[in-house]
Chains A and B, each alone.
Chain A
Amino acid sequence: MALNESVREALVASSQRWSDQDGFEIRAGITHGIQTRARRRKMLMNGSMAMGVLACAALGISVLRSPGDTVSTNAPLPQVEPVHVEEELRPTSPLGQTALVEERAQVKFLTEATRVRRLRPSGGRGARANVSVEAGAARFAVDKRKIEAGEAPFRVSADDVLVEVLGTVFTVDRQAPGVVTVKVDEGRVRVSWGADGVASRLLEAGESGRFSKQGELLEAAPAEPESQAPPEESVTPNPVKASAPSGAWRQLARVGRYDAAFKALQRDLTQMSDVPNDLLLAADVARLSHHPEQAVAPLNRVVTHFARDDRAAPASFLLGRVLLENLGRAADAARAFAQTRNLSPNGPLAEDALGREVEALRRAGLSAEASARAREYVNRYPAGARIHEITPLAR
């Protein structure tokens, strides 16, 4: 025998923790996979039999176009096969239920892998949809209590529009290419659009709106932009400028001209929108133009006001590094690293954050806390990258 039986038993026990809901969702993904492959085969066969080389090329361009892109009136549209659905509510996720409300509605349940591949629409890097409305209209009902309890966010994508559920009953209708109608019956949702997801609008109960990837709000019912509390420190993002056009500072930053970007941003801080993308870019601009103190506010803003965003934990980690390495604020850095772990206890940064928290506490002269965190590190990560450095501190 080469494996302790107790370890094997624990492993076997942990491998059994699959719920009926898991089985349901996986089954939906299988059906979609089979449908997709069948459709591809059918398209390939049709194409090879009926069309010449030029016609095939035209079809290929049409089918491979990005969702929401302008569609030529002469180009053939990809056909969406109707799927029979029932009217009753059916569970789609532990967070809620879905009802498909019309005959041709087609909803795709996204797995972790397909979410990673489907970067757009994303509502920004990391904010990925759980469910995609491929065609028609689908009505969703999501348990508000679970959303408020901080469980995984529930997001629905349709074309280049992303709907983030904030505890509600709502309908997403994708009737025409590139245009998505969202109607809220109860609660509220945040709708964002475009590849960067920099623009968003909050829809309350009774409101509806039509959205496209260009950020146009076509015939939208009245809705107030989401209000945000002002930031604490010196770099002040514009809280209502959620759909600002790209400014010069962004373009300068994206080509690595951080000094020029910083100057451009300082000239008019209202260029910066109060969204994670801009806040993180502003932090990078400040940090890489040798103004680390100016990176603190936007990073803090992401951590405190966008805590459910996937980028909150990396922002908190970066904040800890800036505070520790650039500003010498070790105690504050320790809190930032602790926050990183709170935001994402099992995330890829958790181990490193705990190691750096030990280091920050030690530098801050907080020996007892440093020892406690060091013991936690040794216990949780016995083969961790910093184990040799941290083990002596655990004693």
Chain B
Amino acid sequence: MDPVSGDPVTEKIESEDSRTGNSRAQAPSYEKIPSFDELYRREWRYVAAVADRLMIRKADVRDIVQEVFIKAYRSLDKVENPGAIRGWLATITVRAVSDRLRRKKWQQALLFQSEQLDEVEAEDASPETQAELRGLKLALSRLPVKERIAWSLRHIEQEPLEEVARLAGCSLATAKRRIAAAQEKLRAHVDNTTGGRGFGEKGEAE
């Protein structure tokens, strides 16, 4: 496994294996630790989709995917359980996204800028849903990064609370607190902008 000395530029990006970007429930099964090339072919869409759903810009998603797989390349030989590969990639992805969002927040604070958001690409959705999605993106962009990540993992990725805590690198209680704080702020934002008819419903008891 040495993608440096190989010829990745000519490598065919196989489509079928890697179209499982939806969730970890659809993770491909690995009987053994895959080669780096196979790992990329089968998982790059998943990593891109997770980063995308954590609401960063498309241009940043490409950098995140690169960063994740460069880290994966360096550490793949340390992975012992093939069944945990997608979770391992998810952890790297979440941390890479968190780092990037934190850096951006800091830069934006220095420049007195607000976060730039991509246009919503959901042509199949109704105008109302598209409007709600735009509102959600805007509201999430205004949350502290830790709360934004925790809420997104819970409600968009639909991860169990324990997994949210693991991915976010915090305790279960802290994860619950971040999700609740995010939910409260999102609700306030929705009430201010849509008269309470927005994307959020009463949150679960965390």
Partner-B contacts on A (CB < 8 A): 1-4, 6-18, 20, 22-31, 33-35, 37-38, 84-86, 88, 90, 100, 111-113, 345-346, 348, 379-380, 382-383, 387
B53 touches A29 (CB 8 A): no
Shortest CB–CB separation between residue B11 and chain A, in angstroms? Answer: 7
Known pairs A2-B202, A23-B18, A31-B3; A111 contacts B63 (CB<8 A)? yes
Question: Which chain B residues lie closer than 8 Å to A90 at the CB level?
Answer: 9-10
25 contacts between A and B (CB under 8 A): A2-B202, A4-B132, A7-B129, A7-B132, A16-B21, A18-B21, A18-B44, A23-B13, A26-B62, A27-B8, A27-B11, A27-B44, A28-B8, A38-B4, A88-B10, A90-B9, A90-B10, A111-B66, A112-B63, A113-B60, A346-B118, A346-B119, A382-B134, A383-B138, A383-B189
Q: Which of A27, A28, A345 has the most CB of B within 10 A?
A: A27
Shortest CB–CB separation between residue B204 and chain A, in angstroms? Answer: 6
Number of interface residues of B (CB under 8 A): 63
The B interface is mostly helix, strand or loop, or mixed, namely helix
A30 touches B73 (CB 8 A): yes
B135 touches A382 (CB 8 A): yes
Shortest CB–CB separation between residue A96 and chain B, in angstroms? Answer: 15
Of A23, A25, A380, the contact of B45 (CB 8 Å cutoff) = A23
Shortest CB–CB separation between residue A14 and chain B, in angstroms? Answer: 5
Question: Which chain A residues lie closer than 8 Å to B109 at the CB level?
Answer: none
B8 touches A11 (CB 8 A): no
When chains A and B are docked, how far (Å) is the Cα of A345 from the Cα of B130? 17
Question: Which chain A residues lie closer than 8 Å to B8 at the CB level?
Answer: 27-28, 30-31
Question: Which chain A residues lie closer than 8 Å to B139 at the CB level?
Answer: 383
B133 touches A26 (CB 8 A): no
When chains A and B are docked, how far (Å) is the Cα of A348 from the Cα of B67? 26
Shortest CB–CB separation between residue A385 and chain B, in angstroms? Answer: 9
Nearest to B15 among chain A residues (CB) is A20
Question: Which chain A residues lie closer than 8 Å to B67 at the CB level?
Answer: 33
When chains A and B are docked, how far (Å) is the Cα of A345 from the Cα of B120? 13
**B183 located at the interface, meaning its Cβ lies under 8 Å from any Cβ of chain A in the complex:** yes
Nearest to B53 among chain A residues (CB) is A15
Q: Which of B10, B66, B122 has the most CB of A within 10 A?
A: B66
**B193 located at the interface, meaning its Cβ lies under 8 Å from any Cβ of chain A in the complex:** yes
Shortest CB–CB separation between residue B190 and chain A, in angstroms? Answer: 10
B22 touches A12 (CB 8 A): yes
A86 touches B130 (CB 8 A): no
Question: Which chain B residues lie closer than 8 Å to A25 at the CB level?
Answer: 62
Known pairs A34-B70, A382-B131; A111 contacts B62 (CB<8 A)? yes
Which residues 114-157 of B sit at the A interface, judged by CB distance below 8 A? 116, 118-122, 124-127, 129-136, 138-139, 154-156
Given contacts A18-B44, A18-B49, 18 further A-B contacts (CB under 8 A): A3-B199, A6-B129, A7-B136, A9-B125, A10-B133, A12-B156, A15-B49, A23-B13, A23-B18, A34-B4, A34-B73, A38-B4, A112-B60, A113-B59, A346-B118, A348-B116, A382-B194, A383-B138
Question: Which chain A residues lie closer than 8 Å to B66 at the CB level?
Answer: 26, 29-30, 33, 111
When chains A and B are docked, how far (Å) is the Cα of A16 from the Cα of B50? 9
